[in-house]
Structures are given as C-alpha cells and as structure tokens.
Chain A
C-alpha cells in the first residue's frame, strides 16, 4: 500500500469526523463571521462625542468665543455647568470625562501680560482617553487662539507650526489597523480550536494505539491530521479577508497572493500549535484548558494587535517572539495598509516558519515517545 493511499485513508476518516461533528464546521465558518461582525463594529479607539463639562463662571463675549470653539469640535459632547462643584460631581459619577473651567476673571486675565489660565481636568483612570481628550482640547484651543488674533487684526504668530503627515492611514481610522489584527486573532482561535482536541481525543479513546499499529508513520499521521483542518481553516480565512475588504472597507495596498501565502503559513503554525497541545495534554480536558489559556489572550495582548510591542519592557518584547500571532499581525497590518514591504514581510515570515517547524517537530517527537 503506497503512502499516498494510507494518507488518503486517514484524511478520509478525519473528514468524516469533521462532517459528522458539525462543531468543527461551525468553528471554521460561523466563528469568523460572528467574531468579525461583532468586533469589526465593536472595537474602535476613535473617540468622538466625548462628554465634556464646560464650566463658565462668568459668561461674556470672550468665554462665548472659546465655548464655540469647543462646541464646534466633533470630538466633544459639551455640557455647560455654571459652577465647578456640579461638574466635579458629574465626573465622579462618570457622566463626563473631562472638565474645562473658565474662571470668573477669564476676560480680565486675558488682557494681562501673563494671559488667562484655562483649567482642564481629565479623568485619568482611562489614561489613553485622557491623553486624547487633552490633545483635542489643545487643538480646539489653538484654533480659538488663531481666531482671537485675527479678530483683533493681529497676525497669529506662532514661532513653529507643526505640519503632520500620517502615512498609510491618513484619517487615523483605528478600524483600519484593528480589523487586520482581528483577522489574526480569529485565525489563531480557529487554528488552535480545530486541532486542540484532535490528538487528545485519539489518546483518550484509546484509538491512538490502534492508529500506531497501522502501517502509517508518525509523520503521515501528523500530515493526515493537519491537512483536513488546514483546508477548513483556509475557507474561514477567505471569509474573514473578504469581510475585512468589502464590509469594513479596509484598503488592501499589498498583493492578495502575499496575504494568502502568509496566511497559509500562519495557519500551519497555528494548527501545529494546536496539535502540539493536544499531543502533550493527552486528555481533552487539559487540551481544552491549555488551548484556552495559550491562544486567545496572548494573541490579544502580546501580538501588537492593539498594544504596541515597541513600548513593552524588553523582557516582554522577547516573550512576544514566541507568539505566532505577533508575526502574522505585523504582516497583515503592513500588507493591508502599506503594501508589499519585503523588509517587514520576510523576517516575520521567517519567524512563522521557525515556529511552525518547532511545533510540528515537537509534536512528532512527543507523539512517538508517548507510547507506553
């Protein structure tokens, strides 16, 4: 019996198992749709309509100008208060995220050489939003200053003006970088979930011994187990990428074939990790637990999907090299938003390749020596 025939036999068995337990098909096809819909719409760092309390202790023409500048900003949902106490209460109760205070002597101070202070209090609990809020207030303030100078016939003379150019994502739409990252997270989940139970199921039911006395070699068993799920996973991937492109309108500036080649490579790595987990774990219970612990959270937090790896402490940066999703996220963000930048794609593809080899090699070794 040729190796091809043997393999086909095992694959046929795996396919039948997949088809008869619809949960695998649900994992591969329903999960990407469900997760991408939910997260594509749900996950966003673009803050608009941030509730902001504006306290004007003594309304006048000057304060009206500044209030108008805040009101015009689409980032804020400005609410007026006439005393600081009420505004602070609103902040404690979480109804507003920041307070801007124009004191009673604002108009008078404005004409003094030192200038009038504008007090900005942000709720620092969510430090990121707090920073963004203070940036936006600064922006509105700058516009108001310009307007103020022009009204008085002065040329607004700032010594240095900042001109910013943002490449790849001109409007800084967070969805453009989050959706490619989500594809990576979803593929991690699919890969690990599909295979995590596969080997441990055979061990637990005692059919692994039966499989091992067949003429199938260990590598054949691994390939036979991997391939059906690989095909299933690719199906899910096509689905996820089409949703990213057509539903969420993320631009694809690189080429489709690079995207798919990298994804195929990543899928092998993710499936390899699942196989390794299920080989080492032996019982479906432990395999499930490990898959739950080792896949989603690391992919979510350590992959650069949302938290910039460069800002992590060096030790943690080293640890991220063990996370397959890290390489895939880098490739996806680049291929989607920047194009085929080989200086990013190649090193990351190499990282995936090494991880895949390690996972599959360990699976092979562990599975062999496990026969007791």
Chain B
C-alpha cells in the first residue's frame, strides 16, 4: 500500500512541477507578494500630507504648528491663505488634513482664554482620518501641558500613562505580517489542491485512477501529501522571511508554530480537495477555490477585527480555518503563547480538516458521471 501511494504522489509532484510555468507560479509570486504586501499592509500614518491655514501672527501659533512639522506622521505640503483654497486641496486629495489657526489664537492664549484649533480632515478613508485626529489630539494635549507648565496655568489633576504590551511601538506591520504568512500559505495549498482532482475529472483520468488497485483512502492520501509538503516548505520559507527580513519577533516556540501550520495545512488541503472533487471542470475548481478563499481571507480577522462583525457573520467565521490560524500566528510570534493556551484554536482546525477529508473521500466514489 505505501508503494502505491508513493507512486501516486510522484505522479502528482510531476504534474505540478514538470511544467516550467506552473513551477514558477508556485514559487516566485508568494515570495514577491510577501515582500510587497509586507511593506504595504500598515495602518501606521507616515508623511500624511497636510496644509496649514494660519491667520495668526503670534509666536504661540508658530510653536504649536512646529510640533506638527516635527511629527513623522505628517508632512506639510501646502500653505493656505484663503478659506476658498481649502476645498480644492482636500477634494483633490492633495492633503488629508488642513490645520486652521484663527486670527485670535495667540491673543486668546495670552489672555488665558481657551483658544481654538480647527482641523479639517478628509473622511473618505475613515480609519486614516481617525488615526490622524488621534495623533493631532495627542500633540495638542502635550502642547497644553507644556503651556500650562510654562505660563502658570493649572495642571490637570490627572494624566494618562499608556503602555502597550507585546508591541511597544504599536507597529501595525507586526500585526499584519503574521497574517500575510497565513494568507500566502492558504493561497499555495489551494492552488496545489483545488485543481488536482478537477483536472483528472476533466481529462477523464480520474475514472482510470478509480479502477486501479488504489483505494479511495489511498487516493486521498496520495493527493493530500504533495499539497501538504509544498505548503510546509512554502510556509517555512515565508516564516523565515518574516523573521529575518522584516524582523518580526518570534517569541513562542517553533514547535507550537509548526503544530499550527500543520493543522492549518491539513484543513486547507482538505477543503481544497473537497472543492476539487465537487468540480467537474478546472474552471469550476478554480471558481470554487476563489469562492472559498476570498471570504476566508476577508473574514479571518486579517485586516478588520472579527469583533466588529455582526453576530451572524461572527458565527460564519467559526467555519474559517484562517481565523484560528491567525490567532496562532500572532500569539506565537508576538505574545509567545504556549501550546496549551492555543488549544482552543488547534482543535477546530483539525475538525475542519477531518470533516472535509471525509466529504472529499465520499465524493471520490459518489460523484461519477
């Protein structure tokens, strides 16, 4: 029996790797994507363009505006002299934000009255807008504290000391990179498995496979292992790149990480084979892979937290193996979580994998035309 499975595996590897183009497609794009996406996926504001509309000649206004210029989040790209100039700048996306200092700003401050600082923000990307406002309010708070200290104003009776665990500089790249490891691993396993049975069905060779001495279980194993091995190699490569190229800290144990990867690959290959054995043509197989992958990624909590989703959608995400894998990846990478704490993530992946294998094996024999 192992000999038969081995023969099938060799055949599978040959179909995948003998063609130069498909070899290329399997290896090059994931690596390029890791690098490009790794740099692209960030919510950290950097050099956000803003304009200044300063109607005040005083030193206080200049002092406050200097803190904007000193911030790495913002870059001053324009100067506004009239109210009318604001709209075209913001509408045309030349600036994300306009900081408006009114004519009485410094006078109000000197007289001990509350001075007003107005910011106009482009809300088209609400997340960027919110982060920009947050940054500005932190700067204004700091200015207020300094001003009160220097000019004898009353210091507020309390202040907030913020500390961030696991990611002290709040680099969102650390959050997204483990996610990208998950996405690319899923992509590769789906590519390898989703078309594997469909191609044989389309070419009529699957019937031949069924009349060989291979039992369905053996076919299942023979079709599973190549995807599993390629996925393992690919994800190891990606993990290496994440650690050594992007310098994401890997605090947890490799063993826990690989337990997660293995279980995730199991569920990915299982779903891929299930889709593949449902499909009659390669086009249908591809479509199925898409229909599974796109929601699996978007609903995994990769970019938007699952907590923000409505209850019904949150329930749907329980079927998504990516959802569990992302918790494992982030937990092992950034928090150094031990094996036991990740058990609630491990068993659902195993269950999804097992269930899809059973369905795929059943479909092998019962979906015949």
Contacts and interface: CB of A to CB of B under 8 A. Distances in A.
Interface of A: 21, 23, 26-27, 31, 34-35, 38-39, 41-50, 91-94, 109-111, 113-132, 134-135, 137-138, 141, 145, 148, 154, 157-170, 172-174, 176-177, 189, 193, 196-197, 201, 281-286, 288-294, 296-297, 300-302, 304, 306-308, 310-313, 315-316, 319-320, 330, 333-334, 337-339, 341, 343-344
Nearest to A309: B40
Contact of A289 (B22, B112, B183): B22
Nearest to B61: A160
Given A123-B166, A165-B120, A45 B126 contact: yes
Given A160-B147, A286-B21, A173 B112 contact: no
Interface of B: 19, 21-22, 25-26, 29-30, 33, 36-37, 39-49, 64, 88, 90-93, 96, 109, 112, 114-131, 133-134, 136-138, 140-141, 143-144, 147-148, 151, 153-168, 170-172, 174-175, 183, 187, 190-191, 195, 199, 281-287, 289-291, 293-295, 297-299, 303-305, 307-310, 312-313, 316-317, 327, 330, 334-335, 341
Contacts of B126: 45-46, 169, 172-174, 176-177
A306 to B, nearest CB: 5
Given A44-B308, A197-B286, A292-B289, A35 B295 contact: yes
A241 B119 CA distance: 32
A125 B330 contact: yes
B163 A164 contact: no
A333 B141 CA distance: 32
A135 B297 contact: no
Nearest to A50: B307
A333 B130 contact: no
B56 to A, nearest CB: 12
B42 A39 contact: no
B70 to A, nearest CB: 17
Tell me if B's interface is mostly helix, strand, loop or mixed: helix
The winner among A123, A157, A308, A343 for most chain B CB atoms within 10 A is A308
A160 B121 contact: no
A158 B127 CA distance: 27
B162 A310 contact: no
Contacts of B290: 189, 193, 292, 296
Given A293-B33, A319-B36, A344-B91, A162 B284 contact: no
Max chain B CB contacts within 10 Å: which of A168, A334, A339? A168
Nearest to B303: A306
A138 B19 contact: no
A123 B297 contact: no
A130 B165 CA distance: 10
Contacts of B289: 292
A286 B137 contact: no
A160 B140 contact: yes
Contacts of A50: 307
B309 A44 contact: yes
Contacts of B116: 160-161, 163
B127 A174 contact: yes
A138 to B, nearest CB: 6
Contacts of B291: 31, 34
A122 B163 CA distance: 6
B113 to A, nearest CB: 8
Given A23-B284, A166-B123, A131 B170 contact: yes
A91 B129 CA distance: 28
Contacts of B172: 127-128
A304 to B, nearest CB: 8
A286 B91 contact: no
B151 to A, nearest CB: 8
A138 B138 contact: yes
Contacts of B64: 160
Contacts of A339: 91
